[in-house]
Structure formats: structure tokens, C-alpha cells
Amino acid sequence: MSDQPEIGRSNADQDTPPSTTDLAQQRTFLAAERTLFAVLRTGLAIAAGGSVIIALLGDQWPSWVQVPLAGAFLVVGYSLVLHGLGRYRGIAKNVERQAGERLEIIPARSMTVVTYILEAAITVVVILFLFSAFE
């Protein structure tokens, strides 16, 4: 057996079973993490969908239609991601405050930084794709 304490439990608590309140807090936190990952996945897919639309429309539609449409997908996707991150951070803070300890496996700040990097990468790819599509 490992010397490391289980998530959400200190070394002193290893011999005693977790209370129902502790288990409920852990379930709430894990549900918030699952929801966050689903929102991130959906938001990034919507944002990336902007470049897919341009690829599908190709030369059939004028650029004044394609660019705002792709931009709208980026804005909607990133808004969804930012909203999901904000909700997750709020829920995580509430659960941690009630638990009196830190429960995060992946810190929300690290996840936020990684998400911003992914958003910037998708934006660069879409912009490069837009420029290459209209040459």
C-alpha cells in the first residue's frame, strides 16, 4: 500500500472511513471536473468548426460570408470554454471551502493556461487557413 494519502484525505484519516459528507463533496467535485472536460471538448470543437466550414464552403461562397461565419464559430466556442472554466473554478472553490482542504487533481489555473494556449493555437490555424483560402 502506498504512503501517499488518498485524494481529499490526510494521513490521519487513513484508518477511519470517509463520512458521507466527504464522499458527497468528492462526488460533486468529480462531477464538476467531468462537466468541465465535456464543455472544453465541445467549445474547442465548435471553435475548430470554423475552419471546417471554410473548407466545406470553399469557392462556393464569397469571403464576406465565410470570414464572419468562421469568426462566429470561434467566438461561440471560446465563450463556451471561458464560461465552463469560470463555473468550474467557482464550484471547486465552494467544495474546497466546505471540505477545508484542496481537492483538485489538476489545478484550475494550470487548466486555464493550457486552455488559453489551445485557443490561441486554434485561432492562429484558422487565421492562416483564412489567408491561404483567399489567395
Distance set, CA 23 to CA 28, 43, 63 (Å)? 9, 30, 54
Domain map (residue ranges) of the chain: 19-133
Q: How far apart are CA 13 and CA 23, in angstroms?
A: 13
- What is the percentage of the chain residues whose pLDDT exceeds 70? 79
Q: Are 53 and 70 in contact (CB under 8 A)?
A: yes
Q: How far apart are CA 21 and CA 12, in angstroms?
A: 17
71 Cα distance to chain centroid: 20
Q: Are 36 and 114 in contact (CB under 8 A)?
A: no
The residue-averaged pLDDT of 21-39 equals 83
As given in the structure block, the three cell numbers for residue 29 are: 467535485
11: pLDDT confidence band, cut at 50, 70 and 90? very low
- pTM score over 0.75: no
The residue-averaged pLDDT of 13-17 equals 66
Say whether pLDDT at 81 is over 60. Answer: yes
The residue-averaged pLDDT of 101-116 equals 70
Q: How far apart are CA 85 and CA 118, in angstroms?
A: 14
